[in-house]
Amino acid sequence: MYQNRLKKLIASRQNDAEFLQAISRVVFFISLSLILGFLYTSYLSYRAIQIALVLYTLFIIIHTFGIIKGYPPFMYRRLSAIVADLGMLSFLTYSAQLNAIILYPLIIWTVMGNGMRFGEKYFYIGLLTAVLFLTAAIEANPFWAQHNDLGIALIIGLILITIIHKRRLKQIQQIEKRFDTKFERKVGELVNEYHYDSLTGLKNRIALEKALENEPFSGLMIIDIDGFMNINELYGIHTGDQTLKKFAVNLQRFLQERNFELYRIYGDVFAAKAHLKFIDHDVYEQTVKDLLLFTESLQLSDETSDNTIKPDITIGISLQQEDALNKAEMALNFAKKHAKKYIAYSKMIDNSKNIHQLLQRKNEIKDAISNDNFIPVFQPILNRAQKIVKYEALIRMRKFTDGTEQLVAPHFFLHEAVKTKQYETLTLIMIEKSFRYMDALNRPFSINLSFNDILNDKVRNALKENIERYNITDHLTVEILEGENVDDYLVLRGFIKEFKKLGIEIAIDDFGSGFSNFTHVFELEPDILKIDASLIKNIDNDKKSYEFVKSIVQLAKALGIKTVAEFVHSKAIFEITYELGIDYFQGYYFYEPLPSEKLSEQVTN
């Protein structure tokens, strides 16, 4: 296959040479013929020269069309070009008389040029054609009959000059042959590098993709070495590479015996494609199970140390030819995520739609950041007397549909912002805008921070800078999301202690949803517990929620901690939470979150 492509490539180089020759031929001959026609046309009418030029130009157009179309350089095309070129030159020699001396170098160049480009055979054909045509032109013209010695000298000179330069022609051909040999070898090397992995010698992902396109399909498996990064980190890259090579050798031997071809597609991930046109699914699954047993028994020793590495693998399988590689990788990711040894692709595990949605949402978030469409809205928090005591800043994304503004809630974009690494930017936007708006209104407010925000130097510094700039420590509450996985309570306690010294209140948000150990929470010594909405929203119908909230309130009161009921959406919920002794209330029963403009109106009124 690659040899055929190489031949086509070399043929195309020859076509390019012919094409350039044809273009220059048209321009040069027409220009020169017109000049000679003006200079001297005593023995031939100017119309005859025009007709000859038109016919020659038509030939060149047809000839060049064949080159452009990429037709192979057949003998008839080259012969016709030689005859046409030398015929036209001889015709001009006949008509131009003594001025034809100008054409003499062109005749020599045409003979030599065709010989250099197309070989020795075409050199002799060109020379013979030139001698015959030139002799005929000289014999037919009375001018040359009067200067017969000059005409004979021209013909003899043509023969001698071209024969003398034939040696040079052979040297040029040898150089071209060596060049073509080197060219073929280099192309072969590049093809090899392009389709083979340099470390293991196996075919690579590009070769696999071509095989999936052009060869029979009966299944594809993707094989990943579990935790291979640990081998690199523990023993070094060199040992890791040697381990990969040994693993590949063993794996290839196992799979070749079962009519599979092994590929290394990237890193520690390999692919195995069956050579058979059809393979029973039960047989295929048994091959996968045998492969797992085989790798479990492998012990790869490291010569540079006494370490023995026992690789474990995970396998993703696609038995569907359409988009097989992508589906097998999808199955592999699913198997690794769910701690399975192997998984075959099915529509149930297809997450391509989710990936598409994630990428779409990523772009929406990016555009909204660029267009300043992330804004804080503020939901009032009320005391037991139903008076507003502060506002919680909540993020919204402005979206415009048919010119109408919509405010998109965070559960539609916050998870995607985390996954696409844009969450930090949103947090910084919220801090800056919330402080700026609430400073102008001179009202107490709270902002939400996750545990990851607390670990983030940029976020902590932005919080400190805004506190210092606006000097509103007595107006600020920091709500720490309780649902977050906190793996370092020392860091969290240090943050709380630092900001409490500044006079800032600390609240634990969504309390009751995430912490498995209440002791940790109370060790943090928060000022406020905001009871999670999942416990409040059904408290009028759910006995367990009622008792749980009751216990939280009693414990908080005993420790001197205030409580807030979130998601108070009805009068019944408010009355129950009020009777339980909760200190503050927040929810749509009182107010929905307000954009800064509406908040300004409310505060003014």
Contact 111, 130 (CB under 8 A): yes
Q: Where are the alpha helices (DSSP H) in 257-351?
A: 281-297, 324-337
Class of the CATH-defined domain 205-350: alpha beta
Start and end residues for every CATH 3.20.20.450 domain found in the chain: 431-604
Predicted local distance difference test score (pLDDT) of residue 570? 96
Tokens of 488: 């370092």
CA distance 168 to 112: 10
Cβ atoms < 10 Å from Cβ of 4 = 8
Contact 447, 467 (CB under 8 A): no
Predicted local distance difference test score (pLDDT) of residue 9? 44
Predicted local distance difference test score (pLDDT) of residue 449? 96
CA distance 271 to 266: 10
- List, as one string, the DSSP characters of 364-411: HHHHHHHTT-EEEEEEEEE-TTS-EEEEEEEEEEEEEETTEEEEE-GG
Low-confidence ranges of the chain (pLDDT < 70): 1-84, 88, 91-106, 109, 112-120, 141, 143-145, 151, 164-173, 176, 180, 183, 187-189, 191-192, 302-306, 352-353, 482-487, 514-517
Q: Which residues contact 143 (CB under 8 A, 6 or more apart)?
A: 43, 97, 98
Using alpha carbons, select from 123, 105, 107 the residue that is nearest to residue 115: 123
Predicted local distance difference test score (pLDDT) of residue 36? 53
Tokens of 366: 């990016």
Tokens of 205: 């992902």
CA distance 166 to 112: 8
In degrees to the nearest 10, what's the CA dihedral of 489, 495, 500, 506? -60
Q: Which fold has domain 431-604?
A: TIM Barrel (3.20.20)
Predicted local distance difference test score (pLDDT) of residue 195? 84
Start and end residues for every CATH 3.30.70.270 domain found in the chain: 205-350
Answering whether pTM is above 0.75, one says: no
